[in-house]
Amino acid sequence: MNEKRKMKSAARLYAVQALFQMEASDEPADKVQKEFEDHRFGTEWNGETLAEGNVELFRKLIDDAVNWQSKIDQLTDRALAENWPIHRIDPTLRALFRAAGAEMVEGDTPPKVVISEFVDIAKAFFPEGREPKFVNAVLDHMAREAKPEAF
C-alpha cells in the first residue's frame, strides 16, 4: 500500500477512535482532535510507532460526523433492523457508522472504497466476530441510499 493510502486508512481508524472517545467522555470535537493529532499521529507508544494519519481527512471526518450526525444516524437507522436503532448498537460500531457515513454523505470517495476501508477497520476491532459482515451489509445499504448514482 502506498504512503498516501496508508495515511488515509490511518485517518479513518483514528476518526472512529476519536468519535468513540467523544461519545464515551462527552468531550468536544476540537479537544479530541487536538489530542489525537498531538499524541497519536506518528508518535511512539509501548515501543511502537503509531501510523501517521492524513490530518485533513481526519478533521473532515470528525467535523462532518458531528455536523451531519442526525442525517447520518437516520441513514444508519434505515439500514439497521427495525428493532435495533443506532442508539442500541455497540458504541464502536456506532462511531464506525458515523465516520463512514460522514465520508459517504459529504465526501467524494467512491462508496465501494469507503465500504472496504471501514470493513477493514471493523476487522481490526472485531477480528473473531461477525461484525465485519454486519458492517459490510449496513454500509452497503447506506451507500445505496446516500449515493445511488454510484451503483
Q: Higher-confidence residue: 118 or 43?
A: 118
Model confidence, pTM: 0.93
Taking only the tens place, the pLDDT of each residue in 32-77 is 999 999 988 888 777 777 788 999 999 999 999 999 999 999 999 9
Residue 98 has pLDDT above 90, yes or no: yes
DSSP 21-81: HHHHHT--HHHHHHHHHHHTTT-EETTEEPPP--HHHHHHHHHHHHHTHHHHHHHHHHHS-
CATH number of 3-150: 1.10.940.10
What pLDDT band is residue 1 in, cutting at 50, 70 and 90?
low
